[in-house]
Every structure is written in structure tokens, then in C-alpha cells.
């Protein structure tokens, strides 16, 4: 009888696409497939903790918590370089700030998720048309980073996608870490790793 209920549980989990470790196809007699490993990305950033002294942290929350304005403020102050990794990208203010930075001579480069790039309202082509270098990362299930590194010392990151919905509808957070080159260097290394396997639009 226990075997009967086990098989029923397994059938239901398969039907509902459950992925709990105690059920699935293997309970119906099939071996659980091993996940397909992606090749490791090398070199990985140094995992050593970063001491933080003399920097400044800004934190913002959405909806309507000023996340977009905080990002745009940093972008508008950029002098040499802006490196971006984004999943969904529909924020017109952020896109415009990137194009304006490019116009004043800042090196602006953007990595976007390949699968999400053609979604409704995506602005990758818009910033590309403004002279920004844009590439698509298709190596992963999703390229889900939300990161900007500005002038090699400031990092913007958090759950906040660079989108209209993240600013106005979602519960998100955005952290701006100013004046922390050691941390920025780690993000730059990671950005370079993903740039290396990305392709131009």
C-alpha cells in the first residue's frame, strides 16, 4: 500500500512539475537526470571578504522609493566608465542616462540577457543606437545580474531590475556602494568574464 501511495505522489509531482528531492520520475522507476553543468567561468573573482572603510552606502527600496533616481544620479556623475549587467531593461531614464554619458565621452558598455532582450519594451537597441556597446549573454539559463560599475569605484546592485515595473510596482532594493575600489574590482572581473562569452546584438 505504501508503494501505491508513493507512486501516486510521484505521478502528481511529475504532473505539477514539482522538483522536491523525495519525489519525481526516479520514484516511478526512472533515474533522476543529473543537471547539465555549465562550464565554470574563469577566473572567478577572489572570494576574500572586502574590508570597507571610508566608503559610503546608499540604499533605496521600491515601489516609488527612488531607486531609478539614485541610479541615474550616479550615471550622470560618471567621468570615465560605466559597465552594466542587466536582465530586463525597460527603464527609459536609465537608458537615457547611459546614452548621455556616452555622448560626453564616457566608456559605456552593457551586457544584457539574450533571452529577455527581445521582450516588450526592452531598450537594448535604443542604447546601442545611442552609441553604447551592447552585447547579449546567452551562456546561462538566464543572465540575471543587475549591476552597474561606475568609474571603477562605485557599484550599484540589488534585486532591482532596471525597469519601469521595478520602480513603480515591485518590491525591490537597490544598494549603491561608493568609493570601494576593491569591491568594484571584483564586479569588474565578473563583468569581463561574462563579456568574454557574450555576442553583439
Can 151 be counted among the known catalytic residues?
A: yes
- Which among 114, 117, 146, 186 is annotated as catalytic? 146
User: Count of alpha carbons within 13 Å of 149, Cβ hemisphere only?
Assistant: 21
Q: Is 114 marked active-site?
A: no
Nearest to 164 by CA among 112, 89, 98: 89
- Cα–Cα distance measured from residue 14 to residue 193, given in angstroms and rounded to the nearest whole number: 37
DSSP structural state of residue 83: E
d(CA 92, CA 70): 14
- Separation CA 180–CA 147 (nearest Å): 15
Catalytic residue among 113, 116, 137, 151: 151
CA–CA dist 56, 54 (Å, integer): 7
106 phi/psi in degrees, rounded to 5: -80, 140
Write phi, then psi, for 61 (nearest 5 degrees): -130, 145
- Is 178 designated active site? no
Which of 144, 178, 181, 185 is the catalytic position?
Answer: 144
| Residues that are catalytic | 144, 146, 151
Amino acid at each position: 500500500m505504501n508503494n501505491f501511495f508513493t507512486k501516486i505522489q510521484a505521478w502528481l509531482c511529475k504532473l505539477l512539475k514539482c522538483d522536491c528531492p523525495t519525489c519525481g520520475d526516479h520514484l516511478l522507476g526512472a533515474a533522476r537526470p543529473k543537471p547539465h553543468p555549465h562550464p565554470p567561468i574563469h577566473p572567478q573573482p577572489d572570494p576574500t571578504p572586502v574590508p570597507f572603510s571610508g566608503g559610503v552606502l546608499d540604499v533605496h527600496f521600491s515601489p516609488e522609493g527612488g531607486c531609478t533616481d539614485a541610479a541615474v544620479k550616479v550615471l550622470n556623475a560618471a567621468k570615465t566608465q560605466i559597465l552594466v549587467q542587466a536582465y530586463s531593461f525597460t527603464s527609459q531614464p536609465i537608458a537615457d542616462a547611459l546614452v548621455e554619458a556616452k555622448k560626453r565621452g564616457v566608456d559605456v558598455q552593457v551586457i544584457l540577457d539574450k533571452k529577455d532582450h527581445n521582450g516588450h519594451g526592452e531598450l537594448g537597441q535604443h542604447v546601442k543606437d545611442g552609441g553604447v556597446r551592447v552585447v547579449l549573454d546567452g551562456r546561462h539559463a538566464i543572465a540575471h545580474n543587475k549591476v552597474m560599475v561606475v568609474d571603477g569605484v562605485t557599484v550599484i546592485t540589488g534585486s532591482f531590475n532596471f525597469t519601469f515595473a521595478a520602480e513603480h510596482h515591485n518590491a525591490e532594493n537597490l544598494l549603491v556602494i561608493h568609493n570601494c575600489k576593491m569591491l568594484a574590482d571584483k564586479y569588474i572581473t565578473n563583468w569581463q568574464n561574462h563579456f568574454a562569452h557574450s555576442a553583439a546584438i
